[in-house]
Amino acid sequence: MRKNILLASLVFLTAALTLAMPVICQAGANEEKPTHLNLIPLPVKVESKTGVFKLRSSTRLISDEAYREIAELFAAMIKKPTGYSLVRSGHGKDGIHFNINRTYNKLIGEEGYVLDVKPYGVSIQANKPAGLFYGIQTLMQLLPGAIESSGKTANKNWDIPCVKITDYPRFGWRGLMLDVSRHFFPKELVKKYINQLAKYKMNVFHWHLTDDQGWRIEIKSLPKLTSIGAWRAPRMGLWWSRKPQGADEVASYGGYYTQEEVKEIVAYASKRFVTILPEIDVPGHSLAALTAYPELSCTGGPFSVNVGNNFPDKKENALCPGNEQSFEFMDKVIGEVAALFPGRYIHIGGDECDKAVWKDCPKCKKRMEVEKLKTVEELQSYFIKRMEKMVQAKGKKLMGWDEILEGGLAPEATVMSWRGMKGGIDAAKMNHHVVMTPTDNCYLDLYQGDPAVEPPTYSMLTLRNCYNFDPVPKEVLNPALILGGQGCLWTESVPSYRHAEYMTWPRAFALAEALWSPKEQKNWENFILRMEGNMVRYDFSNINYARSIYDPVIRPVKDSVNKTFQIALDTELKNLDVYYTFDGTYPDKFSAAYKAPLSIPTGADLFRVLTYRNGKMVGRMISVNIKELEKRLEK
């Protein structure tokens, strides 16, 4: 996985939290009974009213010239499924109005909006254009799911229920990260990923551009980074078990983004109010760079781009901090990256740096002597602090993984905490800003269902654990230092874009809600209803997603009486019926129903289980060897 971890223990959820149902829709005295709306993330306040607004080919989009792009973006979003070519107008009473408040509404802030749907017209009001954009996303979710179709549909009733929605985000940083180093995704797929996260009101796209397995961004002053560092020998099979690249093997797998493509993607994201956070991961995770420029290493190489093979005992994949050329190299990289990305931050990684080679490196020893550094952790801190000065000189602010705390935190660095929340808590205590992305809630490359039916990866992150994410732990005394959070999709085990979608959705629905919606309104059962409504929308748009939430969770438990183990079964959703067999046959709703932990019959070697809801099969059938379950118990 991202982090160079082999197999972690499989952790399964065993308990369901019961939360009080929040008031989602509030009805006035003369209004109809509240209706269920499949809105994600859950808005702050929804008031249901009588009637519908009928979207027609004659509907006008009414906005000032300054907000033409937002109105036209909405027109483009609905053109293919409806066949309508809506026209923008500067004046009019009927239609869909896009209005910026003349008097600032403190309640909704910079990204909030008020959406008012009436039978004769729709109004979206906001303080800033971003609010208008998020109002559009809610308006799209109020339309029938067929609005997400890629072509014209037979649907003739594009009705929008009459509601008034007042909405604004809980956090300013609401992100998703995509790792394109382990597997390269062309620019059109990157745009697609950005478009999807923006639809759910996420506003940061963290782009992991460099690592041991590939350098993905053109740096014109350092052409070998992409002519050499962007390519590796093609491989399949489990990560960390692959055969290393041979000396005469052609490096043909990979790719990179030209600077013109980067500019195109940045402009695309900007129109959707998404800031791109570029990550150049140093000083560790730099094998692709060292393959291109081996003189930046401690030993001089030679190197080859990692293909997913395990590293040798004496691992070397870090820039040499004792070598001044490393800083000259990074100054060129940071300079060109800063010019391409208008966002405030540049992420420099700083994680998982194997420092063993530094201990034996004469150049590193000399640097430590001159700078009066006692440990290699302080040497890494020296490197990061120089990176911060470099980043600041380019008009940006440095961000790094929580390892940048080791040896001393750079004076103005922002910490992205992944190894739980401790790094973020420690940084906040030092009055530094923090973005939370703990593995236990936010690492989207982990199993989301039983490993027996999921593509291979490691550890476990269920949908419910994503939904339970709260970026502000009680230990943080100043919550304002927590900028927000994000999900991270590392792609060691994600070889295709379709699988990237599968791993992202619906878990990113849960994270979007955790980062936007009021904490006190979170409700698991209601979220599931809305999630299923959005799954229907994804069926129309042909976007892949996981249905693992419907699968049973298999948990072996010790049986102290018989000195063996039993099989306990859980489900993340309520109202699922679980049926099983031990005799090798396929279970159905006429098989034995699960009631309590199961003792294993003598001679049984295969366990099969599936789920039904309302008499229909909803989950996948899972077949697990009894010996495999026993191995899980040992972990």
What DSSP element (H or E) covers 205?
A: strand 204-208
Q: Is 215 in a helix, a strand, or coil?
A: strand
Angle at 194 between CA 193 and CA 198, to 5 degrees: 120
For residue 247, give both structure tokens.
Answer: 């000396």
**For residue 246, what are the contacts with CB-CB under 8 A and spacing of at least 6?**
233
Q: What pLDDT score was predicted for residue 635?
A: 66
What letter would DSSP give residue 257? B
Q: What pLDDT score was predicted for residue 244?
A: 94
What letter would DSSP give residue 147? G
**Bridging pattern class, strands 204-208 and 275-282:** parallel
**Distance between CA atoms of 256 and 249, rounded to whole angstroms?**
20
283 cis-preceded (ω within 30 degrees of 0): yes
Residue 35 buriedness (CB in 10 A; 0-12 / 13-18 / 19+): middle
193 neighbors 208 (Cβ within 8 angstroms): no
For residue 248, give both structure tokens.
Answer: 């005469």
Q: Which of 20, 2, 8, 17 is nearest to 520 (CA)?
A: 20
Q: Which of 174, 236, 160 is nearest to 205 (CA)?
A: 174
Mean pLDDT per block of 10 residues along the chain (635 residues) reads 41 31 34 68 96 95 93 96 91 88 97 97 97 98 95 87 98 98 98 98 98 98 98 96 94 98 98 98 98 98 96 92 98 98 98 95 98 97 98 98 96 98 98 98 97 95 98 96 98 98 98 98 96 96 97 90 86 95 98 96 96 96 95 80
The phi-psi region of residue 368 (left if phi > 0; otherwise alpha if psi is between -120 and 50; otherwise beta) is alpha
Report, as residue numbers or ranges, the catalytic residues: 352
**Bridging pattern class, strands 204-208 and 173-179:** parallel
256 neighbors 185 (Cβ within 8 angstroms): no
Q: What pLDDT score was predicted for residue 24?
A: 37
In the chain, the N- to C-terminal Cα span, in Å, equals: 18
Q: What pLDDT score was predicted for residue 35?
A: 58
Domains of the chain: 45-167 (3.30.379.10), 173-541 (3.20.20.80), 551-634 (2.60.40)
